[in-house]
Amino acid sequence: MTDTGEPQQRDTPRQARLNDQAREIAERFRQASISQVVLVGGVRLVDVATIVAAALIAHLITFHGEQSFGWTYMVAVGSAVALALIFAQAADAYHVVAFRAFGSQFGRMLGSWTLVFAGFAVAGSFLDFGGAVDRRWIGLWFVLGAGGFVASRAVLAVLVRRWTADGRIGRKAVIVGGGEPAADLIRALESTPGNDVHICGVFDDRSNDRSPAVVAGYPKLGTIAELVEFGRLARIDLLIVTIPVSAAGRVREILKTLWVLPVDIRLSAHTDKLRFRPRAYSYVGSIPMVELAEKPIANWDFVVKRAFDLIVGTVALVALSPLMIATAIAIKLDTPGPVFFRQKRYGFNNEVIDVFKFRSMRHDMADPDAKVVVTKGDPRVTRVGRIIRKSSIDELPQLFNVLKGELSLVGPRPHAVNAHTSQTLWNDVVDGYFARHKVKPGVTGWAQINGWRGEVDTNDKLKRRVDHDLYYIENWSILFDILILLKTPFALTKSENAY
């Protein structure tokens, strides 16, 4: 069934109002955290680039471009890269705490770099390489490499200090549940050396007589329902539940509310009397935790997916540009009005974004708020619009959203903010609907290639879509994305539900 009336709205987690203190703290931590895993990996890549660049420049200066970079030099560079990374790791040069102090980190890196060439010298004294590499090149390579490490580490120290001051280094965490268990956990976290968790506050449904307004120096900022809004605004990385495992019902209700957030959720086992097998625990510092939910597509997975989107998205935009130009001309010749149409839809972390489409409706009947569902034979759809909607050509401008970072090539399709069935908003139809926003929405998705595209006129169709979206989130891999992209053209031939 479809309806042309206004959808009925009720309070949802997205609409929970934060108090002024909670909102102020959330805005303070608005910037996204920088993953320590990605940061350390990035520094390693910069070090590799420094070593290779120094070797090439030294070779160019030594031989003035008159000699090729032979295999013996390649072997020397490969050996230096491997040894430098091993020695630097052993010297704790790849630790975020060390990144902040230029003197100590450069000393560690220079020591590692010196050990590499000491190793070359020892090997050369025992083995006769027959002048396979020029000693002048080796000396110049060492000097240029050391200079490159000075420059890169100086820049890194400045950036890390700035990111630390802004609260972007480390994981932003919220404690769920107050009282003495929360206080014990906070004290344990703060006393753990090298702890990367920054606590933003405490949330608890209980009143102040059972759960104090301040826990170990941190304010109680609101209820569990309000935490959903706070988590989105502050871009929280970690939720730590301090409620005992024995209170299974309460933990289950809390998890049901919070699992829509794109965060790691851990149950603290710090003071719990129950004990699990060692492999059941993960650790925040030295504190044992039980994993309740894991942030999808995080760290290097996120980097790989973003790189895939940029590369493939750019190639697709170039390859499809003739079709897009022809479509724009057809729209202009068919009916008066703009070529493109923008509609507000839910994006990653339930944030509202403007999604681009080719205009498929008459301009004077446009419905940017999606208050009226498009149905079969809808008089608002133009002649060109019927063709491009059935073939999904109208979605091609969303490649610009991909390059902007608002969409991914593959993911749950972004739904309009007022999308509804029978006067009921979709987030009220499916329990946990907003969990599909734990990753970036996509131009195409697992639900679409399995036939769940087009009109959603029953609750069952919406549930099937959401089930497929959640399956994609839980089973993501870059190969899964490639499979969906390859199947998309064939899925578009089945357009019985696209009007």
CB atoms within 10 A of CB 449: 22
Same domain, 176 and 133: no
Q: Which residues are CB-neighbours of 327 under 8 A, at least 6 positions away?
A: 358, 384, 388, 393, 396
Same domain, 52 and 29: no
Same domain, 144 and 242: no
Contact 175, 201 (CB under 8 A): yes
The range of the structural domain enclosing residue 315 comes to 300-491
Q: What is the pLDDT of residues 172-207, one digit of tens each?
A: 889 988 788 888 888 888 887 767 788 888 998 877
Query: Closest by alpha carbon to 344, among 366, 374, 312, 328?
Result: 366
d(CA 127, CA 114): 20
Q: What is the pLDDT of residues 6-57, one digit of tens each?
A: 444 444 444 567 888 888 888 888 887 888 888 999 999 999 999 999 999 9
d(CA 499, CA 497): 6
Query: Of 67-71, 172-176, 306-310, 481-485, which range is least confident?
Result: 67-71
Mean pLDDT, residues 456-471: 77
Contact 222, 19 (CB under 8 A): yes
Rg of the chain (C-alpha set): 28
DSSP string covering 23-91, please? HHHHHHT-SPPBPHHHHHHHHHHHHHHHHHHHHHHHHHHHHTT-S---HHHHHHHHHHHHHHHHHHHHT
Query: Closest by alpha carbon to 360, among 379, 341, 336?
Result: 341
> Residue 1's pLDDT is what?
34
CB atoms within 10 A of CB 240: 25
pLDDT at 132 over 60: yes
> Residue 14's pLDDT is what?
46
Q: What is the pLDDT of residues 317-338, one digit of tens each?
A: 999 999 999 999 999 888 888 8
pLDDT-derived band at 69 (thresholds 50, 70, 90) equals confident
Structure tokens at 177: 């549940």
Tell me whether residue 97 is in a domain: yes
Query: Closest by alpha carbon to 260, among 473, 413, 452, 465?
Result: 473
Same domain, 379 and 343: yes
Q: Tell me, what CATH number does 234's domain have?
A: 3.40.50.720
> Residue 15's pLDDT is what?
52
> Residue 7's pLDDT is what?
44
- Compare 95 and 148 and report the one with higher pLDDT: 148
The last residue of one of the domains, among 165, 180, 215, is: 165
> Residue 145's pLDDT is what?
93
Q: State pTM to two decimals.
A: 0.77
- For strands 197-203 and 214-215, give the pairing: unpaired
Average pLDDT, the chain: 81
pLDDT-derived band at 435 (thresholds 50, 70, 90) equals confident
Tell me whether residue 132 is in a domain: yes
Contact 438, 293 (CB under 8 A): no
> Residue 125's pLDDT is what?
63
pLDDT at 425 over 70: no
Same domain, 224 and 371: no
Mean pLDDT, residues 451-476: 78
Query: Could you give the percent of the chain with pLDDT greater than 70?
Result: 82
Provide the angle, in degrees to the nearest 10, between the axes of the packed helices 36-63 and 300-334: 90
Same domain, 465 and 371: yes
Same domain, 439 and 356: yes
Give percent helix, percent strand, percent coil of the chain, each to the nearest 5.
50, 15, 35
Query: Of 88-97, 126-135, 211-220, which range is least confident?
Result: 126-135
Contact 260, 435 (CB under 8 A): yes
Q: How many domains are contained in the chain?
A: 3
pLDDT at 4 over 50: no
pLDDT-derived band at 93 (thresholds 50, 70, 90) equals confident
The last residue of one of the domains, among 236, 258, 293, is: 293
